Amino acid sequence: MLKDLLIIIRKSFVPELMKINIFADTICGWCFIGHANLNKALKKFPNTKFDILHVPYQLNPDMPNEGMAREKYLEIKFGGKDYAAPMYENMKLKAKESGINLNLDKIKKTPNTVLSHLLIILSEQFNLQNEIIEKIYKSYFIDGLDIGDVNILTNIAKENNIPENVFFMFQMTFAIITPALMVGAYVERIKFSAVLLFSGLWLIAVYAPVTHWIWGGGWLAEKGILDYAGGLVVHLTAGISALVLAAALGPRKGFPDQVDPPHNPALVMIGAAMLWVGWFGFNAGSALAANEDAGMAMLVTHISAATASLVWMAIDWIKFGKPTLIGLVTGTIAGLASITPASGFVGPIGGLVIGFSAGIICYILVSFVKSSLRIDDSLDVFAVHGAGGVLGIILVSFLADTRFGGVGYADGMDSVSQLSVQGIGIAAVLAWSVIASMIIILIVKSTTGLRVDPTVEEEGLDISTHGETNYRQ
């Protein structure tokens, strides 16, 4: 009886469904603190369902649409920064008690909050309002971002609660494919043990730092670099490191005049087709959602690959009098590599321009590496991937412009400032990849050695190293 009575009393005070209306503004620090405290309180009632409604409230309804400089806002609102300081110091202390470290000095603009409220209302349709509200608060009070900017809010909306193991595996596909790209530069003459050791050390010393710089919130990310799916992270790192290693190994016997072309164009085409389709997973998948951004990334990827294929084939046709399947396929890969960093930022026009440019520039560089530099980059990894990635990194500075169907630039950025950031990224990644790769090569050379014996090379590595062959005579 006593137990039943307690249950009745509990239900009287704590209903199974509790409705809560929250009146708040997204630039209100006290509201941020209240949000954090409310979430803590709700966890104490695991058996109670809560129906929480966000009611938009503007502290500054007369705020201009473009927002206002922070100092000017404090002058109008409080009479200046000094007068607001005591209130904000108290706010910081209370926030710390709630587990929040406010970074008010990072805030440079007080925004109009209408768009942020609209995003919260839209998120209620998917029951994501709590997560979205928290991200908006953190973006403003910790990261100092302009939450009145539609691009900032779009990025917040795109951030999904993807399971960590899923995101881990997605990122691992990039880490796996990048050293695999390099293998094509030094086939037929490198020790298998050297490949394994070099790849492992390279992932740690080159790939991981660059990935953090650009995708992990590092210094290049803070500068606002645009690299959607790996123009620098994947293609430049792999391309330039492959070139360095190919140069260190030296050319194959008979290079460049007596090196046999690919013996089976049909298999080359099959491999290229698999890459073409698989590339959609990298570029469109980088949207981390099945949405319009992913669809556009897939579309421009296809346009760029198709355009570069036709351009490369046309050049071969004009130059040699015959269109070749190998040439078409090489153009495909050049178009895919070049659009990779821009795929989430440009529209169809951008895809067309990048693909056309890749077909010409990468074609020229293939001949330059082999004829002028005299480096035996067997599958043209640098000319296709490295140069292609750099090309996309540069062109996105212009083609991200909304006038060309792109998504636009971050607040305060234009094509010139974006190009400057992209250039810094290219220089930093190139220098780091070259220096680190040279050090790794020295380590590998002193341990396993790099190149196989001439007799082994003559016999073929498939038979001599692995005891296998494609063909039995």
- Six token digits for residue 439: 């050090």
Q: Is 236 a member of any domain? A: yes
Query: pLDDT band for position 149 (50/70/90)?
Result: confident
Last residue of a domain, one of 126, 158, 190: 158
Contact 425, 214 (CB under 8 A): yes
Structural domain span for residue 83: 18-158
Q: What are the Cα distances from residue 456, in Å, to 7, 147, 186, 188, 189?
A: 82, 62, 15, 10, 9
Task: Write the single-letter amino acid at 200.
Answer: G
pLDDT tens per residue across span 154-165: 778 766 556 677
- Indicate if the pLDDT at residue 1 is higher than 60: no
Residue 205: partners with Cβ closer than 8 Å, 6 or more residues away: 436, 439, 440
Tell me how crowded residue 335 is: count the other CB atoms within 10 A of its CB. Answer: 35
For the cut 80, the answer to whether the pLDDT of residue 63 exceeds it is: yes
Number of domains comprising the chain: 2
Residue 446 covered by a domain: yes
The CATH number linked to 356 is 1.10.3430.10
User: What's the burial of 69, exposed, middle or buried (CB within 10 Å: 0-12/13-18/19+)?
Assistant: exposed
Residue 214 has pLDDT above 80, yes or no: yes
Is 232 domain-assigned?
yes
Statement to judge: residues 293 and 416 lie in one domain: yes
Q: Is residue 472 part of a domain?
A: no
Closest CA to 206 of 386, 426, 435, 423: 435
Return the ∠ at Cα 218 (arms to 213 and 223), rounded to 5°.
Answer: 95
Q: Using an 8 Å Cβ cutoff, are 370 and 377 in contact?
A: yes
243 & 327 share domain: yes
Same domain, 307 and 362: yes
- If you search the block for the tokens 């909050």, which residue do you land on? 113
Is residue 275 located within the same domain as residue 328? yes
Q: Do the domain assignments include residue 126?
A: yes
Structure tokens at 136: 């908006």
Does residue 5 form part of some domain? no
Chain segment 280-300, per-residue pLDDT in tens = 999 998 887 777 888 999 999
280 and 391 housed in the same domain:
yes
Q: Please state the rounded mean pLDDT for residues 252-276.
A: 84
Q: Are strands 68-69 and 49-56 parallel, antiparallel or unpaired?
A: unpaired
Q: What is the mean pLDDT of residues 369-379?
A: 92
For the cut 90, the answer to whether the pLDDT of residue 340 exceeds it is yes
The verdict on whether omega for the bond into residue 256 sits within 30 degrees of 0, i.e. cis, is: yes
Is residue 452 assigned to a domain?
A: yes
* Whether residue 70 is found in the same domain as residue 219: no
- Among candidate residues 136, 158, 180, the one where a domain is terminated: 158
Mean pLDDT, residues 433-438 taken together: 98
Is residue 35, in this structure, part of any structural domain at all?
A: yes
Q: How far does Cα 355 stand from its chain's mean position? A: 20
Average pLDDT score over the chain: 89
pTM: predicted TM-score of the whole model, two decimal places: 0.70
Task: Examine the fold and report which residue of 134, 158, 182 is the final residue of a domain before the chain moves on.
Answer: 158
Looking at the structure, tell me whether residues 241 and 338 fall in a common domain. yes
Q: Are residues 416 and 333 in the same domain?
A: yes
**Same-domain pairing of 111 and 136:** yes
Residues 227 and 298 grouped into a single domain: yes
Tell me, yes or no, whether 300 and 386 share the same domain.
yes
Weakest-pLDDT range from 73-77, 188-192, 458-462: 458-462
Question: Could you tell me the two tokens for 86?
Answer: 């005591």
Residues 210 and 258 in one domain: yes
pLDDT band at 409 (very low <50, low <70, confident <90, very high): confident
Alpha-carbon separation of residue 231 from 225, 350, 378 (angstroms): 11, 15, 21
Residue 56 belongs to a domain with what CATH number? 3.40.30.10
Written as six digits, the tokens of 460 are 């073929």
Mean pLDDT of 82-97: 89
